[in-house]
Chain A
């Protein structure tokens, strides 16, 4: 450890042990309203999904209005990534990684569309339209039927074709640290 970092940790230790230095001196409590506005991630079990719903037909319209210019009319790709097809290609010399062939969680598609798309105006689609366009992209990949309606209950239950295709690196498959043992008797 360098001198500088040793010094910094020394200062940190001093501050932590002094009752005058509390978290209140740095920052302020976040309000529930603030956390709700910024807490946009969606977990594979559906945690974080909003109310609302969308179907494939509405999703097709949302896609044509917001997505097809870059991703192609049927998600075949263009200026931006291909979204459909590619099943069975992952072990070949020319793998085609799409939502249908590669993405392991449907919830991640909702998360990504909501946080990052459409590229020129992210976080502008309504929750209903986000569910709808996710339904349309999944339908393009033959993962949900044409009459599918997705919401916070049905989306996490969608089984993606490559659900078991990712293998965690050995080093980070189980995370442990010495903080987990704090407060426990040795």
Chain B
């Protein structure tokens, strides 16, 4: 495949701005005056005063979309259960902290870190209480990784609304840098009984969300008691002052406002791991402890509700896998009849979103565009037919089928099932 640089800067800078950069154009809704000649570009002058915190340009409009149930949006934030990230308007692979998707089960508690405590107990040598000062004094690590709500993609289980954006279909995923204490350090520090195989993690929110965490080598090695997010303390919506972070595992395991870890030798069977986050199969049984986020990808531009023009268009999107690193993303511009490899733009980190891109010249005829990803464990993102044949349409969570966008003769991009 030719890289964009090999295609010549002129095409990318000029035609790319006109036709291909639909996402960026959508973000910069305020810029209405064209500057076709350099003589039309406004003159320089002294700028605004410097400030304590940087605000976004007034030409850039980025916001999450609160939602109460699939298709119910936007809603009054007081009845929202989640808030979706505007991935159609984002670039690169890191999500701005204030736009990281949010899922909260009982609102966002206001916690004074001086009064926050973490209790660790159960099958341990020492049952201890840690303050935030204790935790911040412990060894630390940072890791860039995605977090994904297990409900991401739940728009398209049974039908595909043609009027939704990729923010609606796939906005429950984000990638940040998370900083905190290695879970393994705390496990060694308190002397967890080697026979302990499950850990209950419980939040300080109104519903005291609690999940059983399997103590596999992977989770022990990669888990973080996180107090930092993108270089600053966690935002309240994301668990301030302390949350569990488990790279690659479904969002609700990453307990926010963490205040209790209890070590045991079997799962605790809380409401969330029995009645809520279990996936109903076609035969009426439900899959329980399906905790890993599977390999996934989506084209974010062109995507739902955008409009493209015939000629050059740059296809770009995001791929991720809870199994590891993204090895390959393929795209189809003929409705999954033929595929070619997209370019992966770095960084390519394990269990983090990876940006992909590909050149495309649209001939102006109706077509469908699709992406499919493959990770370093050789997991391949399934097509919708195979996925539904295996899972049925009632599972509600863990949807990772390939996303298809249909493009009509006017260049309008619409959500379709396949």
Contacts and interface: CB of A to CB of B under 8 A. Distances in A.
B269 A43 contact: yes
Residue among A30, A119, A122 with max Cβ neighbours from chain B (10 Å): A30
Contact of A26 (B130, B271, B284): B130
Interface in B66-93: none
A107 B206 contact: no
Contacts of A39: 121, 262
A29 B126 contact: yes
Interface stretch (B35-43, B57-65, B272-280, B295-303): B272-280
Contact of B215 (A103, A169, A177): A177
A168 B250 CA distance: 15
B157 to A, nearest CB: 11
Interface residues of B, number: 68
Contacts of B189: 23, 26
A99 to B, nearest CB: 8
A51 interface: no
A16 B188 contact: yes
Interface string A153-181: 00000000000011111011101111111
B288 A166 contact: yes
Nearest to A180: B194
B307 interface: no
B197 A27 contact: no
Interface string B367-402: 000000000000000000000000001100000000
Interface string A41-67: 101100000000000000000000000
Interface centre among B198, B271, B287, B291 (most CB of A within 10 A): B271
B182 interface: yes
Contact of A166 (B182, B192, B286): B286
Given A30-B129, A41-B210, A169-B290, A116 B215 contact: no
User: Which range holds the interface residue count of chain A?
Assistant: 35 or more
A95 B392 CA distance: 12
Interface stretch (A6-14, A131-139, A144-152): A6-14
Contact of B197 (A107, A177, A182): A177
Interface string A90-127: 11010101010011110111011001100100110000
A111 B130 contact: no
B28 interface: no
Contacts of A105: 269, 274
A112 B284 contact: no
Interface in B174-189: 182, 184-185, 187-189
B128 A30 contact: yes
Given A27-B129, A108-B270, A179-B194, A11 B289 contact: no
A186 interface: no
Contacts of B192: 179
A40 interface: yes
Given A5-B143, A105-B269, A29 B194 contact: no
A7 B260 CA distance: 27
A34 B119 contact: yes
Contacts of A97: 275, 280
Contact of A168 (B141, B197, B289): B289
Nearest to B202: A41
Contacts of A28: 128-129
B3 interface: no
Interface in B245-289: 259-260, 262, 266, 268-271, 274-275, 278, 280, 282-289
B131 A27 contact: yes
Nearest to B188: A16
Interface stretch (B44-52, B132-140, B308-316, B406-414): B132-140
Interface of A: 2, 4-5, 7-9, 11-12, 15-16, 23, 26-30, 34-35, 38-41, 43-44, 90-91, 93, 95, 97, 99, 102-105, 107-109, 111-112, 115-116, 119, 122-123, 165-169, 171-173, 175-183
24 contacts: A5-B143, A11-B139, A12-B185, A23-B189, A26-B128, A26-B137, A26-B189, A28-B129, A30-B129, A39-B121, A39-B262, A41-B202, A41-B210, A91-B284, A103-B275, A105-B269, A111-B270, A112-B271, A166-B288, A168-B288, A173-B289, A178-B217, A181-B194, A182-B194
